Amino acid sequence: MRVIDVRGLRYRYPDGTQALDGIDFHLDAGECVALFGANGSGKTTFVLHLNGLLQGEGAIEICGRPLTRETHADARAKVGLVFQDSDEQLFLPTVLEDVAFGLLNQGVAPEQAVAQARTALQQAGMSGLLGKAPYHLSSGEKRRVAIAGVLVMQPEILILDEPTTSLDPPAQRGLVDLLRSLPQAKLLVTHDAAFASALATRAVFFERGKIVGEGSVDEIVRRFNWSAQARIPELR
Amino acid sequence: MHIPDGFLSPPVWVTLDLASAPAVAILARRAQQGTDTSGIPLLGVMGAFVFAAQMINFPVGPGTSGHLVGSALLSMVVGPTAAAIVMTAILAIQAFVFQDGGIMALGANVFNMALAGVLAGYLPYRLWSRHWRSAAIFAGGFLSVLTSACLALTQLLFSGVRMPPKIIWISIGLFAVSAIIEGAITLGAVRAIERLQPSSTEAWGPATQVRGSRVIGIVAIAAIVLVAGGVLFASAAPDGVEKLASQLGLKDQVPAWLHSPFAYYEARGFESMWIRKATAGLAGLVLIFFACSALGRYFARQRSA
Amino acid sequence: MHHVVVERWSRGSSPLHMRDARSKLGALLVFLIAVSTTSPRAQLAFAGYATLLLAALFAARLPLLSVLTRAALVLPFSATFALITWWAGDPARAVSLAEKSFLSGLAVLLTIATTPWNDLVHALGWMGVPRFLLLVIQFVYRYLFVISEQAQHMRLAAISREGARRARSVRFRAATGAVGVLFARSWERAEGIHRAMLARGFTGHFLSLERPHFHAADILFFFAAASAAVTVRLAL
């Protein structure tokens, strides 16, 4: 089943920059796709369209329903967006309140919201932090709590924007394990080729608002020379 | 200048708490109406920004440095209503978390910095920024600090904190220096902000603010300066207002009920009047409490209606 | 930073920590009014207040010396005014200025060090402080640390490059530039937070989870603390 289907998406920033220039993209249920591309190539702008935070021209369907102004609320429940800067995502004073935030917005009763938030935190491996202030968490913990705050809304699609930023290697490994255990379809915006190849089955490459390449992660990394390590001449 | 608890006499802090509480309630309501869903995160982060910007040292003289206060800068960036709320939030956090400024004195500090300081910082900007932009921004920073500081000094003098006239003049001199520094920092900061984030000062700039006539603005500035300065001079005279009042023969004509329960109780006969004083203090608390909660409820009802 | 210390203190589990924030806030206000209305010459009463606070400090199991040192931060300010007042010929008031400001500051510190910040904010809301203001306070408090840290980093970066002695005007301009950069980042952060809120279905109203109820012990504490303060005020 197609959970995301995008056709001919175009978006121009108010200052006139053409950020997206005809994007065609699809994501199937259970699939994990990596979005590669230079900074400013339109990756983040693209994912902000997928739950209606930005509105461009073109057609977007989320789980078979066209995304319009009327279906925003629905799309925001189905598409869970985990932002790059967890400090921006975790704005409430305690972990529990922050995780319950999305549920309360959906009209879930407080007691039930608390129960579901506990479950989501457990799922994200963060059950011991309920009353803590987000400021006191480590980067890895913040990221997990941010993911819990999205998981709690039971989305069909998870979008993670640069999820490995400022995580140490053990925390990155933990994140890979956590994401593997989640059944949702996933979209990873990342520069980290190793992280992507651990999770994604497919990759697309963005350049100046267009998708210019598609294939397996290894293929794309090789084709666009998209690895942090300097290319070592292969031994013969 | 954050006045700590213990400096203001009860009549002074009660009066200022009673003045500030409803003013803040009304401004909070107006600020809320004036913003969409982006308002709360924006104002909160702006408050945190001012807090952090206060940590940046500005070299001033040999071995000395000044720092930003921010009332004027905020009013130019988010408008006076929102700026007053943000400054109130900052002062509340400083009082509770950092013990910088008192709790009973919070009304006074809010009055000086969040209400008068913001207004004095905003008016020059509102009036003159079209033609003399730099001068207006500088004047905003200058006036806001000078007004806040003079008001604080006045309140201390009213509370019976004794200061020889010489000290008062030295203080005013120091205030003027810090006011000049605030003006310079505000001007520099606004220019830097306009360069880096041009949309911010336009979005909330004078054009979108409530229109007021130029004359009213000038009168308001004059009033602020007169109130701050005039009251200060009155207090600076030996024995201050009391003497002035007795010279004018006012003291005997003031009806007795005006004296009680608040008036004069630091000044005379405390030994015999302790019950009345305690009652006055507690009455003050009860009054503040009910004023705040009644206003809160009233606005809550308005919002849900 | 020291507020982190206070936050750590506030997570203790003494009998004083367990009291409802509203009863502590109420007791604090009564205490502050009692101190404020005490005659400058009633030295015995000041001793009484100090005894009350010390007893509370012990009950709260807080590190005595560090708390007293923190509370003494107000003294340079009040000592200046005390000296001036003394010079102006009113030694009794001079001494009482320092005493009153120290005792009041200590009482506030004791309250904040035994009450989680969040509970205190809720107590303020219960007392009728406008909700919009409280939300702004919460957000300022949340991002205070984040943005102060940025400012701190910028300060260190500036100091580390301050090798040669440069003209004051140049350094002044550098500092205004720092304020500008800090502002621009904060502005962008506010936009990021707003996006993250919308992504989780924010509609403009913050909904809160259930709050704890008063217990008999809380009411008892309020009356005991308040009457102790009033007794000292009236009897000594």
Query: CB contact, 8 Å: C27 with chain B?
Result: no
To test the contact with chain C by mutation, choose from B17, B68, B96, B134 the residue with the greatest count of C C-beta atoms within 10 A, namely: B96
In total, chain A counts a number of residues equal to 236
Gap between the Cα atoms of A191 and A34, Å rounded: 9
Tokens of B242: 């009391």
CA-to-CA dists, residue B192 to B56, C73, C190, angstroms: 15, 34, 19
Q: According to the model, what pLDDT value does residue A4 have?
A: 93
Query: CB contact, 8 Å: C128 with chain B?
Result: yes
Which residue reads 């932009």 in tokens?
Answer: B133
The ipTM (two decimal places) reads 0.92
Gap between the Cα atoms of C87 and C92, Å rounded: 11
Centroid of chain to Cα B174: 18
Chains linked to A by 3 or more Cβ pairs within 8 Å:
C
* A76, A104, A106 member nearest C199 (Cβ): A76
Of B249, B286, B292, B242, nearest to B263 by C-alpha is B242
Centroid of chain to Cα A202: 15
Q: According to the model, what pLDDT value does residue B16 have?
A: 92
Of A19, A70, A68, nearest to A47 by C-alpha is A19
Gap between the Cα atoms of B143 and B116, Å rounded: 10
- Written as one string, the DSSP assignment of C95-116 is HHHHHHHHHHHHHHHHHHHSS-
B148 within 8 A of B98, measured Cβ to Cβ: no
Per-residue HEC secondary structure of A107-174 comes to CCCHHHHHHHHHHHHHHCCCHHHCCCCHHHCCHHHHHHHHHHHHHCCCCCEEEEECCCCCCCHHHHHH
C31 within 8 A of C225, measured Cβ to Cβ: yes
**Which residue in C has a C-alpha nearest to residue A108's C-alpha?**
C207
Per-residue pLDDT of chain B in tens (305 residues, 90 and over written 9): 789 998 898 889 998 999 999 999 999 998 888 877 788 889 999 999 998 888 787 776 666 677 888 999 999 988 899 999 999 999 999 999 888 889 999 999 999 999 999 999 998 888 888 888 899 999 999 999 999 998 888 888 888 777 788 888 888 888 888 899 999 999 998 988 888 877 665 444 443 344 444 555 565 666 666 666 655 555 554 444 444 444 444 444 433 333 333 333 333 333 334 444 444 544 555 555 555 555 555 545 554 44
Contact C37 B280 (CB under 8 A): yes
Query: CB contact, 8 Å: C78 with chain B?
Result: yes
**Which residue in B has a C-alpha nearest to residue C170's C-alpha?**
B59
Query: CB contact, 8 Å: C155 with chain B?
Result: yes
Identify the three-state secondary structure at position C155. helix
Q: According to the model, what pLDDT value does residue A225 have?
A: 86
How far apart are the CA of B296 and the nearest CA of chain C, in angstroms? 5
Tokens of B30: 């107006």
User: What's phi and psi for A157, nearest 5 deg?
Assistant: -135, 135
Other CB atoms closer than 10 Å to residue C58's CB: what's the count? 12
**Helix (H), strand (E) at residue C61:** none
To test the contact with chain B by mutation, choose from C4, C7, C36, C68 the residue with the greatest count of B C-beta atoms within 10 A, namely: C36
A91 Cβ contact partners less than 8 Å away, ≥ 6 residues apart: A98, A134, B41, C139, C142, C193, C196, C197
Q: According to the model, what pLDDT value does residue C3 have?
A: 62
Set of chain A residues whose Cβ sits within 8 Å of the Cβ of C199: 51, 53, 76, 81, 83
Set of chain A residues whose Cβ sits within 8 Å of the Cβ of C195: 48, 53, 83, 88
How far apart are the CA of C191 and the nearest CA of chain A, in angstroms? 9
A116 within 8 A of A91, measured Cβ to Cβ: no
Q: According to the model, what pLDDT value does residue C23 have?
A: 93
Strand partners, A158: A80, A186
Rg of chain B on CA atoms, in Å: 20
B49 within 8 A of C182, measured Cβ to Cβ: yes
The C-alpha torsion from C38 through C42 and C47 to C49, rounded to 10°, is -10
pLDDT in tens, A81-133: 999 888 888 888 888 888 988 888 888 888 888 999 999 998 888 888 888 88
What residues in chain C have their Cβ under 8 A from chain A's Cβ atoms?
7, 116-118, 121, 138-139, 141-143, 145-146, 189, 192-193, 195-203, 207-210
To test the contact with chain C by mutation, choose from B2, B5, B282 the residue with the greatest count of C C-beta atoms within 10 A, namely: B5
Gap between the Cα atoms of A31 and B7, Å rounded: 67
**Helix (H), strand (E) at residue C45:** helix C43-59
Contact C200 A100 (CB under 8 A): no
Identify the three-state secondary structure at position B196. helix
Of B189, B196, B148, B191, nearest to B52 by C-alpha is B189
How far apart are the CA of B283 and the nearest CA of chain C, in angstroms? 10
Query: CB contact, 8 Å: C182 with chain B?
Result: yes
* C138, C139, C196 member nearest A83 (Cβ): C196
B120 within 8 A of B147, measured Cβ to Cβ: yes
In total, chain C counts a number of residues equal to 236
Cis status, amide bond into A66, omega within 30 of 0: no
A184 Cβ contact partners less than 8 Å away, ≥ 6 residues apart: A30, A80, A155, A156, A157, A158
pLDDT over threshold 80, residue A183: yes
Q: According to the model, what pLDDT value does residue A214 have?
A: 92
Q: In B56-132, which ranges are continuous DSSP H helix?
A: 71-78, 80-97, 106-109, 117-128
Chains linked to B by 3 or more Cβ pairs within 8 Å:
C
Gap between the Cα atoms of B41 and B49, Å rounded: 12
Per-residue HEC secondary structure of chain A comes to CEEEEEEEEEEECCCCCEEEEEEEEEEECCCEEEEEECCCCCHHHHHHHCCCCCCCEEEEEECCEECCHHHHHHHHHHEEEECCCHHHHCCCCCHHHHHHHHHHHCCCCHHHHHHHHHHHHHHCCCHHHCCCCHHHCCHHHHHHHHHHHHHCCCCCEEEEECCCCCCCHHHHHHHHHHHHHCCCEEEEECCCHHHHHHHCCEEEEEECCEEEEEECHHHHHHHCCCCCCCCCCCCC
CB pairs under 8 A between B and C: 294
* A77, A81, A105 member nearest C203 (Cβ): A105
Identify the three-state secondary structure at position C41. coil
**Which residue in B has a C-alpha nearest to residue C98's C-alpha?**
B6
> Mean pLDDT of successive 10-residue segments in chain C (236 residues)?
73 88 93 92 92 94 90 85 84 89 94 90 89 91 87 80 69 82 88 88 75 81 90 86
* Sequence letter at residue B13: W
- Written as one string, the DSSP assignment of B21-73 is HHHHHHHHHHHHHT--TTHHHHHHHHHHHHHHHTTS-EEEETTEEE----HHH
Sign of CA dihedral C155, C160, C161, C163: positive
| Residue A215, burial from CB neighbour count under 10 angstroms (0-12, 13-18, 19+) | middle
Contact B278 C84 (CB under 8 A): no
- DSSP code, position B287: H
Strand partners, A23: A9
B222-245 in b/e form (b: 16+ CB < 10 A) is eebeeebeebbebbbeeebebeeb
Contact C209 A85 (CB under 8 A): no
